[in-house]
């Protein structure tokens, strides 16, 4: 089959930003909350309204729409062949106090790519499918990434359908109620490549004044819970030398954790985000402190070694402080490594447009994490003003959205004219 791919590919094609902006504004009017934010929780009335509009937009763009049994929405633009498609998209749901851009620009830019290809009569060798994944945020039904996790069989159907929101309503009931329970046979499979444009949700690109992040993977993460037990007593009559103060001991543990993390690797991050103190009274010596520890690194080996060392060293410090330390494992996620050939493509698409670009690793989870298990995957990041996300004031500037969408367009165009999956797979994984 010789389809003259060189003729199909058009240089200098760019998205229509004014049109993309209009779709973002329309989305920003659904689930609006004070302070420029959005509350569009998965499978609510607001989610349904957004989905209905997205469905109309896909129809108008001539896409063949499918819905799977988790409510993931796909719109297909046929190619000149029936080779596996290039998939592009993200999610349209938000946090309860979410912003207008997280996930949303990834879906709406995917739609804009289709419209741009239509405007310019550009055909591609492979079909292109755009996608809106259900319940990425996990704000209503925990855990996050249920749509992409279901489609890739990371979670089974019983597990997903029985997730309950705070009012006890199940995922399945709510999916049926909004009319988006589709067919299992429509689930994503046999994909040539997946691209997800997303806001960075951190401050790195803005700080370095770089427009595009070519994302090489997602950090691995461990959650631990540490319980420190000492002895309570009156804050007045008990001399300092005779105390077993759990909180004073914890402060030493945390200082050690920070010091150790800084020595381990520049990419390591540790966070103590939650703490409870008992009895939590002004004039009582704390008897028990329970705190969480979130540890991340792009390299699983670095993270694992750090945890192994901390387990030993924190016990030693606790002994000196005369307190008892118990460490509980809460959760662990391994690092994801995206496809090096696609990362390279994103870098070269950015350069072709004349935009600054940096290879980076995502600190947050995304639908790409699960799609990466079944298909070569890559993400494109655009700057978040002040690194803010999951807040009403989340902001990505128009110029940056436009650049991100153009890089997405050129990358999708290039890869959708790529004949064999082998051409993507011949490169080895990165050596982090």
> Residues in the site for Zn ion, rule: CB under 5 A?
102-103
CB-nearer residue toward Zn ion: 127 or 365: 365
- CA 49 to CA 178: how far, in whole Å? 9
Kindly state the smallest distance separating residue 317's Cβ from Zn ion, in Å.
Answer: 38
Kindly state the smallest distance separating residue 104's Cβ from Zn ion, in Å.
Answer: 8
Looking only at the bridges linking them, the beta strands covering 86-91 and 193-199 are: parallel
Kindly state the smallest distance separating residue 58's Cβ from Zn ion, in Å.
Answer: 20
Listed in order, strand segments (DSSP E) in 68-210 are: 73-77, 86-91, 128-133, 193-199
CB-nearer residue toward Zn ion: 101 or 291: 101
- How far CA 129 is from CA of 79, 146, 351, 357, 429, in Å, comes to 10, 20, 25, 26, 26
Listed in order, strand segments (DSSP E) in 27-115 are: 32-33, 37-38, 64-67, 73-77, 86-91
Kindly state the smallest distance separating residue 103's Cβ from Zn ion, in Å.
Answer: 4
- CA 393 to CA 84: how far, in whole Å? 39
Contact indicator for 134, 72 with CB cutoff of 8 Å: yes
By CB neighbour count within 10 A (0-12 exposed, 13-18 middle, 19+ buried), where does 222 fall?
buried
Kindly state the smallest distance separating residue 97's Cβ from Zn ion, in Å.
Answer: 14
Kindly state the smallest distance separating residue 25's Cβ from Zn ion, in Å.
Answer: 19
CB-nearer residue toward Zn ion: 293 or 380: 380
H helix or E strand, kind and range, residue 61: none
Measured from the Cβ of residue 189, the count of other Cβ atoms closer than 10 Å reads: 12
CB-nearer residue toward Zn ion: 132 or 264: 132
CB-nearer residue toward Zn ion: 102 or 394: 102
Cis omega (within 30 of 0) on the bond before 279?
yes
Q: Is the dihedral of CA 264, 368, 97, 109 positive or negative?
A: positive
Kindly state the smallest distance separating residue 368's Cβ from Zn ion, in Å.
Answer: 10
Kindly state the smallest distance separating residue 144's Cβ from Zn ion, in Å.
Answer: 9
Kindly state the smallest distance separating residue 293's Cβ from Zn ion, in Å.
Answer: 24
| Matching residue, tokens 């550009």 | 122
CB-nearer residue toward Zn ion: 79 or 98: 98
Report which residue's Cβ sits closest to Zn ion: 103
CB-nearer residue toward Zn ion: 172 or 200: 200
Query: Could you tell me which residues are beta bridge partners of residue 75?
Result: 65, 130
Question: How far from the centroid of its chain's Cα atoms is residue 73's Cα?
Answer: 18
| Matching residue, tokens 């370095």 | 208
CB-nearer residue toward Zn ion: 103 or 149: 103
CB-nearer residue toward Zn ion: 89 or 103: 103
Question: How far from the centroid of its chain's Cα atoms is residue 292's Cα?
Answer: 22
């Amino acid at each position: 089959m010789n389809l003259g791919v060189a003729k199909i590919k058009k240089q200098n094609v760019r998205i229509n930003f004014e049109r993309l902006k209009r779709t973002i504004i329309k989305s920003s009017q659904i689930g609006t909350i004070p302070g420029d934010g959005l509350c569009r929780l998965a499978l609510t009335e607001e989610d349904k309204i957004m989905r209905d509009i997205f469905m109309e937009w896909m129809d108008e763009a001539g896409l063949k729409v499918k819905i799977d049994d988790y409510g993931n929405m796909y719109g297909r633009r046929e190619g000149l062949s029936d080779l596996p498609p290039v998939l592009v998209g993200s999610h349209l749901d938000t946090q309860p106090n979410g912003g207008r851009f997280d996930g949303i620009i990834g879906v709406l830019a995917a739609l804009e790519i289709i419209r741009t290809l239509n405007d310019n009569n550009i055909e591609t060798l492979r079909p292109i499918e755009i996608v809106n994944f259900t319940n990425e945020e996990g704000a209503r039904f925990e855990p996050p990434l249920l749509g992409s996790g279901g489609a890739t069989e990371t979670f089974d159907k019983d597990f997903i359908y029985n997730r309950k929101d705070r009012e006890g309503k199940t995922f399945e009931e709510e999916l049926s109620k909004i009319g988006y329970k589709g067919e299992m046979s429509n689930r994503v499979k046999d994909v040539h490549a997946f691209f997800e444009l997303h806001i960075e949700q951190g401050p790195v690109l803005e700080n370095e004044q770089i427009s595009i992040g070519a994302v090489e993977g997602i950090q691995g993460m461990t959650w631990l819970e540490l319980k420190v037990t000492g002895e309570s007593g009156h804050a007045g009559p008990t001399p300092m030398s005779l105390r077993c103060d759990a909180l004073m001991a914890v402060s030493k543990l945390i200082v050690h954790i920070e010091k150790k993390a800084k020595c381990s690797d520049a990419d390591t991050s540790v966070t103590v985000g939650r703490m409870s103190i008992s009895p939590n009274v002004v004039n009582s010596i704390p008897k028990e402190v329970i705190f969480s520890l979130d540890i991340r690194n792009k390299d699983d080996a670095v993270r694992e070694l750090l945890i192994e060392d901390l387990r030993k060293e924190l016990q030693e410090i606790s002994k000196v402080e005369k307190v008892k330390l118990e460490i509980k494992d809460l959760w662990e996620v391994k690092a994801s490594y995206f496809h090096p050939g696609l990362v390279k493509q994103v870098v070269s698409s950015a350069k072709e447009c004349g935009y600054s670009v940096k290879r980076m690793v995502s600190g947050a989870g995304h639908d790409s994490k699960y799609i990466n298990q079944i298909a070569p995957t890559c993400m494109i990041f655009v700057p978040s003003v002040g690194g803010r996300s999951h807040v009403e004031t989340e902001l990505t500037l128009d110029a940056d959205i436009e650049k991100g969408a153009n890089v997405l367009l050129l990358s999708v165009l290039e890869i959708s004219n790529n004949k064999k999956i082998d051409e993507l797979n011949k490169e080895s994984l990165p050596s982090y």
